[in-house]
Structure 1
Amino acid sequence: MENRDSEQDAILFEPLLKTGPGYWLLIFVLVSTVLWGGYAYMTQFRLGLGVTGLNRPVFWGFYITNFVFFVGISHAGTLISAILRLCQAEWRRPITRMAEAITVLVLFFGAGNILLDLGRPDRVLYMFRYAHLTSPLMWDCISITIYLCGSTTYLYVAMIPDIALLRDRITDWRQPIYQVLALGWNGSHEQERRLQTAIAILAIAVIPIAVSVHTVVSWVFAMTIQPMWHSSIFGPYFVVGAIYSGIAALMLAMILLRKIYHLEDYLKEIHFEYLGQLMLAMCLLWFYFTFAEYLTAFYGHEPVEMSIFWAKVTGHYAPYFWTMVVTDLVIPLAILCNRKTRKIPGIAVASVSVCIGMWLERFTIVVPTLVNPRLPWARGSYAPSWVEISLFAAFIAGFILLYAIFVKLFPIISIWEIREGREQGVAEVTERLRGYLPGDGGLDQPAKAVPLTGFGPWTREIK
């Protein structure tokens, strides 16, 4: 059995063993973009925030928009993966790791935007020297730190069996690293039991943490009395938007990895079908919350809020607002509602559209309110400088760079979960189906009960 599995899953090891010229070209482009972003940051560090478009009263702009956007994308992994694991969705197995990796890697860039917005990075120490738990900013710091630690642990624990496989298969400079990270894994039943228990506990724990993170991010806005921010709906509104953009980012990663590494036998049409249906549900939920938010503001007709409302709908920010509506609602809804267009090419278009639209949504939340402050200040204006745009591009390139490096160090598809699914998944699903239906459920042959903790004979491949 293990020999057949080794041959069948050999393609999953190829990204770690073979590197073509296209990969190095990509790395060159990404590193160049990151270095340009480093130059932009040094310019800001030397000259101050005056080189950006930030001003009074627009003290938040691209940096906070990007912060909310990147933290939202992080919901692609841990939250989706944890829910699918707890629901015992068998189709989750090929996608969990690439989703979890997105969560861990993108969080660094979300937090990095806060450092950019501070101007002086040493001001981060003030969060510890003068910490005050009544501050929503402190809640944000605590929740993101817990989320990063929990997501990293969740990703690492689920990779231990595959790291052990790499330890015994790869003999280059990476072998000592795998030796340490494998933690002495040998596939014993006791180790398997502990691993399954740890994964179950972490999956349960990270769901409320993930929900709380974007809720707290929304409270940084909603706890103020700024017009169009002071809203009790912001918590669930931000969480739904985060899941929506996270699914779109995950499917873009799946499509690219499927094409580049020929993973068609693992990332099948059915996976995109199910995720497409989930994204369609999030699209409708996003529209519901957006409609409710703007309807209540319009119906209340509070003068200061209405100045921002009309600035978005018919004023200076109307192009951003209506582009957001088209990219977040019209395009994905038209594609995902139709089974004929809900295929990989259509889903790729919808995912790109949603990523663009969700960034615009964050931008239209942040900037128009600050341009039209409640305080009796002069109306402001904001346009990002080349520094802000360069750093945004560098952060996107940096995330893709780290993801590309991750693919070269660890299997992007969980090998042990795939093999476990082959050996136990069919029997477990058959047994569950027998329990759902009356009588024997039409299943003439009894299903063999399989323990949930065993990973099967493939573990004998590990020395």
Structure 2
Amino acid sequence: MTLLRTGSAIGASAQDLKPRANDPIVAPVQTISSMTSKICAPPLRQQWPLWWKLSLAAALFLVLILAVAIGWLFYAGVGVWGIDWPVVWGFALINYVWWIAIASGGTFISALFYLAEAEWRSALNRIAETITIFAAACAAIYPILHLGRPWLFYWLFPYPNVMGVWPQFRSPLLWDFAAILTYVISSILFWYFGLVPDLATMRDKADAPHKRRFYGVLALGFRGSDDAWRYYRVGYGLLAAVMAPLVISVHSIVGLDFAGAATLGWHSTEFPPFFVFGALLSGFAMVMLVAVPMRRLLGLEDFITGRHFDILGKLLLTSSLCVAYACLMEAFTTFYGPDAAGKRLFIDKVTGELAPIYWATIVFNVLAPQSMWRQSVRLNETLVVLVSLLVIAGMWCERYVIVVMSLRRTHLPSAWGDYTPTIWDWLTLFGTVGLFIAGFLIAIRLLPAVSMYEMREIILRRARRNR
């Protein structure tokens, strides 16, 4: 299996040396000029390679499937899904929580580690923020579609109306609406604000007049003066300070959606931190999964080095241990408490008809990331992709366990039921995956994949230390 190649000696290419834990954040061969040219090259090229065109075509086909599935849902109603009594929430809630967790994990990397002044996040923050934008967009679709009359989704917003009817503020749907709206707007602002200096660089590097105009409009007149940089750094720091706690609060609200209900298996104060742990785990896994092909296909090996994968692997392992602790506490609190129905539900999870999904959750989220204890695994592209895929699949299975297994076994055995997703459930899920991939591919086609202005600062600091 191929190991990630990074630079660790002056004058050597980042692709020629065996990775080590103390590899540099940026390969020593890179100067400010060469770094700028290399990162600007992919968006400015006239023709993109065949892999990008084929990937975008496949993603757009899935988006077309999503449009058909949503159109049929508008025509026939939510009955086309597999939901029924007592499982009145199915894929809509499962996929909503899954996508918003992926989005939250990306923001954690870009915002919190900026405040911590971690240099390594400079190569990954653009990837993480782009993941956040499109994952949050995919998540926002599901609560709207599940309303029954999705074209009236704006009724969730507390606005003055002639009937004097206000939304039910105790409803988790309203909590979700407020949380998603705040998070999406803040994420877009944070993502775009971080792009402004790089858009100005793209404007200055572009040869074609239409591209200069395009990037010039997006750069908002940024010229790199001392005053502009001073105000920019203050503004970006303030946005990061807002986003860091917001990412925790948003997924805590998602956990409170469950904890606020009297449903068996949901009504627990453990859910908010449990969901935050899961968000970190899935977010780190998605960033690792995307970073591997990007560094190869876009030629970013000098900037996304073995050091980054070594750190991300450790973060993935840490968040996996937190999830393992939450799973143990779920079992402990269930059997420590007096609720016989809760104990019966937990036994059904681990031994019942859907037990394979529960154990897949444990294997993928808890056991598979334990391989990250070994540095050789953290620096192996094939194993990094495999473990990341298992974690992302495991987090989806975890949502299935929480939603379906709790709803299908209520307090009263006479009200028990089962859930079987329909083809429209699966098509909607695959369609949102296509929407995410298509959005990400278009973003890397038009915008620099790595933050150039932050890379310049790293190279300058390295030059000062070497004097």
TM over 0.5: yes
Contact 1:97 1:412 in 2 (8 A): yes
Aligned to 1:453: none
Contact 1:72 1:214 in 2 (8 A): yes
Contact 2:143 2:173 in 1 (8 A): no
Deviations 1:325-349 (A, max 9, x none): 111111111x101222222322222
Post-superposition, which runs of at least 4 consecutive aligned residues in structure 1 deviate over 6 A?
none
Aligned to 1:56: 85
Indicate the larger mover: 61-70 or 132-141. Answer: 132-141
Matches of 2:188 and 2:179, distance apart in 1? 14
Q: Which runs of 5+ in 2 are unaligned?
A: 1-29, 159-165
TM-score relative to the length of structure 2: 0.88
The code of the aligned residue for 2:66 comes to G
Following superposition, the deviation at residue 135 of structure 1 comes to 2.9
Following superposition, the deviation at residue 4 of structure 1 comes to 5.6
Q: Which one of 2, 14, 36 corresponds to residue 9 of structure 1?
A: 36
TM-score relative to the length of structure 1: 0.88
Deviations 1:375-423 (A, max 9, x none): 5752111011000101100100110100000001110101111112111
The 5-angstrom pairing of residues 149-168 of structure 1 reads 149-168=185-204
Report the secondary structure of 2:157's partner residue. helix
Matches of 1:175 and 1:418, distance apart in 2? 22
The 5-angstrom pairing of residues 260-299 of structure 1 reads 260-299=297-336
Q: Which one of 114, 118, 135 corresponds to residue 147 of structure 2?
A: 118
Verify: 1:146 aligned to 2:182, yes or no: yes
Contact 1:76 1:102 in 2 (8 A): no
Aligned to 2:13: none
Aligned to 1:305: 342
The code of the aligned residue for 2:343 comes to M
Matches of 2:129 and 2:117, distance apart in 1? 17
Taking a change above 3 Å as real, the CA distance of residues 194 and 377 of structure 1, as seen in their structure-2 partners, is: farther
Q: Which one of 363, 368, 375 corresponds to residue 326 of structure 1?
A: 363
The code of the aligned residue for 1:14 comes to A
Q: Which one of 103, 117, 129 corresponds to residue 132 of structure 2?
A: 103
Aligned to 1:89: 118
Contact 2:31 2:459 in 1 (8 A): no
Q: Which one of 217, 221, 239 corresponds to residue 254 of structure 2?
A: 217
Aligned to 2:382: 345
Following superposition, the deviation at residue 125 of structure 1 comes to 2.6
Aligned to 2:12: none
Matches of 2:260 and 2:456, distance apart in 1? 48
RMSD: 1.8
Following superposition, the deviation at residue 6 of structure 1 comes to 2.9
Matches of 1:426 and 1:68, distance apart in 2? 45
Aligned to 1:22: 51
Aligned to 2:19: none
Matches of 1:316 and 1:175, distance apart in 2? 60
Contact 2:408 2:419 in 1 (8 A): yes
Following superposition, the deviation at residue 357 of structure 1 comes to 0.5
Matches of 1:297 and 1:84, distance apart in 2? 36
Following superposition, the deviation at residue 147 of structure 1 comes to 1.3
Q: Percent identity?
A: 33
Matches of 1:426 and 1:194, distance apart in 2? 25
The 5-angstrom pairing of residues 367-386 of structure 1 reads 367-374=404-411, 377-386=414-423
Contact 1:30 1:400 in 2 (8 A): yes
Taking a change above 3 Å as real, the CA distance of residues 380 and 123 of structure 1, as seen in their structure-2 partners, is: farther
Q: Which one of 452, 458, 465 corresponds to residue 415 of structure 1?
A: 452
Aligned to 1:195: 232
Contact 2:138 2:432 in 1 (8 A): yes
Aligned to 2:171: 135
Report the secondary structure of 1:393's partner residue. helix
Contact 1:33 1:393 in 2 (8 A): yes
Following superposition, the deviation at residue 79 of structure 1 comes to 1.7
Matches of 2:31 and 2:365, distance apart in 1? 45
Deviations 1:45-85 (A, max 9, x none): 21112211011111111111000000000123222111211
Taking a change above 3 Å as real, the CA distance of residues 8 and 201 of structure 1, as seen in their structure-2 partners, is: closer
Indicate the larger mover: 44-53 or 300-309. Answer: 300-309
Following superposition, the deviation at residue 213 of structure 1 comes to 0.3
Report the secondary structure of 2:127's partner residue. helix
Indicate the larger mover: 372-381 or 65-74. Answer: 372-381
